[in-house]
Structure 1
């Protein structure tokens, strides 16, 4: 029996079983996983010597983009780890593409047992000679948990096509769907990934600080400008600039942003020198920009400038297949953080999570799991340990008093705005300070 641990990744349980039965007689240890999102937890937990990776994980998707996507992510954290790709008979083009993307070899389904074992032995032997002495397991972390819903598989397919281009990308999605996380994933897969991605929340920039924040300023350009400072455009030169909540910009600020993007140059406040910029722009918003264009609230020319490629992240309620994956990920994360090892989710708890509409999306789910980890008294988290508001309506069986109505309205607004107190106050029609006062009064 040859030493070494092999990880098999395939969503077909019969394929996993067949390969496990075949290889466990030949190799020291076999690990299997049907969900590619769990690859990295396996790589963290075990020393894996070789991965056998399927090219497709969703019914109806036969492009191989998923397999290539996971191949690249594996090599981002374990560049030396050999990967053998599994692909359907006749998909030779896919197999060749996987080799060009860094796969060690490929095997066609249905496979020949002797041929497969020979390829694995040869690949392990070659990897042993190539392995650098100072290689470190898990040198970097994967940036995003994808999920396996059809909607997210379509996004993966699109991302793998556009990530290595310099096309501007506009990401749509509700609060908490993971727009910034997706932007970081695109940057990580891009040709600019050796540089840091810079991000800025456009909704938090005041009119007076906009130019200074984005374009920089010279010493003495305005009161309190005691020294020269570069802006985000200069800082992101050669890299990616992520502009979050771009729909919150006023028309005046939209015009200044458009000029910089069109001319590909900026001028610092207090200077006449034009500075060329080379950035890849990714913008995001939770607003309907096309409707804003029709209402003359967003410039049409800016809209088309930032919208070369459009990606819409669906809300969590429209991809319930991903809820269990995210819940397990957050459970592990917070169990480690709060030293609550051994925690697990009861099957009925998963059902409860999947029945909720999640107005705050992934961010709300994350906070819910974190709270459950902190408060759970036993190792199995039961439905009663999960605190979520299944609906925000009131029953007429008991008429609530006004204080209770106000308290529930505040809770609902904060939940719907994913903890953003400024947005919650705006929705409630009160000032941020008034909201703070009410939070204190209700002992939140």
Structure 2
């Protein structure tokens, strides 16, 4: 539905549809680009919105997603187990507070700094800000600052000219050029080399930069969203991060709470990942057993939402039953094996039971992967290196090839 129409506007029509057909996905179309209308509609349950003029590919993508969601509802006889908002799920006070800040940040032009532990969903938040901002029709680029060697950081960010250094056989635009008119998500901003922080500050303040080996000043209109799991304020006091850059990137701070502080969201998140994984793998509908919710609540979730997603995905891939139990989730599989005191008899029995369960899960994964350790690691949500270490520590004979 279009938002501006005679007699009844699109928002009123949307509300009428929600009353009569709550399962029907509604897509709003607007030529006015009003963030307020989009946020109001998404908050009320609209499936998505697009701005005019839109290209055919964008329309087909959004409609295709809506049709796929509708088919899942028809097939299962019920809607998805939890409300999804740009790939994020939750109704806890902690999450709703974050969501309010996301909406306000999207409506502003300021830089955003997302902080929180690993696995709390920083990239999803960055994408949500982009999608409901005035830059949603522009590009969204992302890069992890820790993944770039310090010597190549400036070339990667600002581009380089032919012959600027050994191997520069042709000119190449940098990330800021490619993100012009859109949003640039810089994860692990605390890893930016100190020598390059001045140039980053300049492009944020003036929108100007030069390619490595170039003399022409280029411009880029980019909204920067940064993320870090480090204490950047402390890094400024230690001289590891420029104070002026810190205040520039942290225009609007958003702190993501760890999953242990969002206990009310554990079951909705697990059910969301469960439904999505079943759909992606093309398996029948599965559910959580009655005792699973209690097990989810007891576990501390050091890996946060990413760990929960991996645990549910692993359980769906390996379980042949329609109901997932706490044992299927194998919580703590990726945790290192601790060292116990020889006198701790009861503790030894408990930990040996845990180790035996880990052995069982790993054996099932290797069998399901046809003996491929790398495929088994993928099923388990582990790196191949860490799986090899677990095989040695747990005394599991990893029969099969490594491919």
TM > 0.5 fold call: yes
Q: Which has the larger radius of gyration?
A: 1
Residue of structure 2 aligned with 1:397, choices 337, 342, 345: 345
Query: Which residue does the alignment assign to 2:264?
Result: 321
Runs of 4+ aligned residues of structure 1 deviating over 3 Å after TM superposition are 4-8, 47-51, 64-67, 77-80, 135-142, 390-395, 432-444
The answer on whether the counterparts of 2:25 and 2:47 sit within 8 Å (CA) in structure 1 is no
Change (3 A) 1:137 1:386: closer
**CA–CA distance in 2 between the matches of 1:188 and 1:335?**
27
**CA–CA distance in 1 between the matches of 2:204 and 2:26?**
46
Residue of structure 2 aligned with 1:374, choices 298, 309, 317: 317
**CA–CA distance in 2 between the matches of 1:258 and 1:50?**
39
RMSD: 3.7
More divergent stretch after superposition (221-230 vs 185-194): 221-230
The answer on whether the counterparts of 2:27 and 2:48 sit within 8 Å (CA) in structure 1 is no
Query: Which residue does the alignment assign to 1:58?
Result: none
Question: After superposition, where does 1:423-442 map in structure 2 within 5 Å?
Answer: 438=389, 441=392
Residue of structure 2 aligned with 1:76, choices 39, 48, 54: 48
What whole-Å deviation, never above 9, does each CA across 1:374-410 have from its counterpart, x for those lacking one? 121211112222200298766522787xxx9xx99xx
The answer on whether the counterparts of 1:149 and 1:322 sit within 8 Å (CA) in structure 2 is yes
The answer on whether the counterparts of 1:176 and 1:363 sit within 8 Å (CA) in structure 2 is yes
The answer on whether the counterparts of 2:135 and 2:181 sit within 8 Å (CA) in structure 1 is yes
**CA–CA distance in 1 between the matches of 2:27 and 2:167?**
58
Tell me, what secondary structure is at the counterpart of 1:378? coil
Query: Which residue does the alignment assign to 1:229?
Result: 172
The answer on whether the counterparts of 1:343 and 1:381 sit within 8 Å (CA) in structure 2 is yes
**CA–CA distance in 2 between the matches of 1:275 and 1:263?**
11
Q: Identify unmatched segments of 5+ residues in structure 2.
A: 1-13, 29-35, 53-58, 70-84, 360-382, 399-403
**CA–CA distance in 2 between the matches of 1:344 and 1:329?**
11
Change (3 A) 1:188 1:337: same
Change (3 A) 1:74 1:242: same
Tell me, what secondary structure is at the counterpart of 2:315? helix
TM-aligned CA deviation for residue 76 of structure 1: 2.3
Tell me, what secondary structure is at the counterpart of 2:99? helix
Question: After superposition, where does 1:7-406 map in structure 2 within 5 Å?
Answer: 8=18, 31=22, 42=23, 47=24, 68=40, 70-71=42-43, 74=46, 76-77=48-49, 136=63, 138=65, 143-389=86-332, 396-397=344-345
Tell me, what secondary structure is at the counterpart of 1:275? strand
TM-score by length of 2: 0.69
The answer on whether the counterparts of 1:66 and 1:156 sit within 8 Å (CA) in structure 2 is no
**CA–CA distance in 2 between the matches of 1:440 and 1:231?**
43
What whole-Å deviation, never above 9, does each CA across 1:82-123 have from its counterpart, x for those lacking one? xxxxxxxxxxxxxxxxxxxxxxxxxxxxxxxxxxxxxxxxxx
**CA–CA distance in 1 between the matches of 2:27 and 2:123?**
32
Residues matched between the structures, number: 316
**CA–CA distance in 1 between the matches of 2:37 and 2:238?**
39
TM-score by length of 1: 0.63
**CA–CA distance in 2 between the matches of 1:68 and 1:138?**
20
Tell me, what secondary structure is at the counterpart of 2:248? helix
The answer on whether the counterparts of 1:65 and 1:156 sit within 8 Å (CA) in structure 2 is no
